[in-house]
């Protein structure tokens, strides 16, 4: 059922209500067709840079305000204020979904 939701024309919106940990590599490939994709190094790339690169914020300052205002989610979970990079627990099949607010999302591709 989840695979059908992800592959529909409303996949990005449908995924907002899904259990992200059930997403497969195939599901992430389908999401990457519809959502912006940003490559990130685990525990290295600052989250404010991820937001700007993904188009979820227009500047580093705006990205920091979104983070401080608890407006950012990774895989449906609100990011703790002290978290500044993508962590091991955030990665699912080498990917993650980062979201600002209700409707603005991007796929994170983990790189070495």
What is the radius of gyration, based on Cα positions, of the chain? 13
Quickly state the pLDDT bin for 51 (edges 50, 70, 90): very high
Task: Check: pTM over 0.85? Answer yes or no.
Answer: no
Where in the chain does DSSP place strands (E)?
Answer: 37-41, 72-74, 77-78, 95-100, 104-111
Which has the minimum average pLDDT: 1-10, 44-53, 85-94?
A: 1-10
Mean pLDDT of 38-57: 95
Q: Residue 19, SS3?
A: coil
- CATH code assigned to 2-111: 3.10.290.10
Could you tell me the two tokens for 73?
A: 């989610």
């Amino acid at each position: 059922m989840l695979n059908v939701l992800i592959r529909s024309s409303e996949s990005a919106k449908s995924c907002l209500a899904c259990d992200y940990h059930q997403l497969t590599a195939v599901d992430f490939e389908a999401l990457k067709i519809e959502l912006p994709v940003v490559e990130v190094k685990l525990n290295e790339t600052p989250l404010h840079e991820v937001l700007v690169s993904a188009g979820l914020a227009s500047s580093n300052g705006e990205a920091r305000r979104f983070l401080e205002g608890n407006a950012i989610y990774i895989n449906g979970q609100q990011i703790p204020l002290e978290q500044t990079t993508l962590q091991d627990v955030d990665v699912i099949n080498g990917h993650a979904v980062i979201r600002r607010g209700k409707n603005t999302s991007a796929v994170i591709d983990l790189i070495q």
